Structure 1
Amino acid sequence: MKVTVNDEAVEVDPETTIAALLARLGFPEKGIAVALDWSVLPRSAWDTTLTDGARLEVVTAVQGG
């Protein structure tokens, strides 16, 4: 099935969770925020199984000054 991550199509298995996909794509464990279908998810919800056509937006925090 296909999902979209930051406007890029990604093929995933039906049992794939958000956390597993983030790890597979190389996102860090800390310093990121995730929105699923335009709703920001708390880290405790990252064990949610993805559905076909889901849209993820992943934002990495950067420090600046």
Structure 2
Amino acid sequence: MILNGEKKEFKATITVAELLDELKINSDKVVVEVDRVILDKNEYAVKKLSSESEVELIRFVGGG
């Protein structure tokens, strides 16, 4: 799959939730876009990714 613009290899079938867990990313602090569509958080556990998926992870950063 393409993850944030870079080709990455993951197991054949992985959900968004599994991807975030594998990358140790808190789902409360990220927005996930798959194939140019922003997902609702309730879709993370069921949305399956393929080797053709284009995924963008947008993280929230605090500051001021």
TM-score range for the pair, normalised by the shorter chain length? 0.7 to 0.9
How far apart are 1:14 and its partner, in Å?
Answer: 2.1
Q: Give the structure with the larger helix fraction.
A: 2
Q: 3-state DSSP class of the match of 2:14? A: coil
Q: How many residues align?
A: 63
User: What residue identity is the alignment partner of 2:33?
Assistant: A
Which among 42, 45, 55 is matched to residue 44 of structure 1? 42
- For normalisation by structure 2, the TM-score amounts to 0.84
Shift of 1:4: 1.1
Report deviation, 1:51. 1.7
Residue correspondence of structure 1 range 19-58 to structure 2 within 5 A: 19-47=17-45, 48-58=47-57
**Equivalent residue for 1:18?**
16
For the aligned residue pairs, the C-alpha RMSD in angstroms reads 1.2
Structure 1 position 52, deviation (Å): 2.2
Moved more, 9-18 or 39-48: 9-18
Give structure 2 stretches of 5+ with no counterpart.
Answer: none
Q: Which runs of 5+ in 1 are unaligned?
A: none
Which ranges of 4 or more aligned residues in structure 1 deviate by more than 4 Å? none
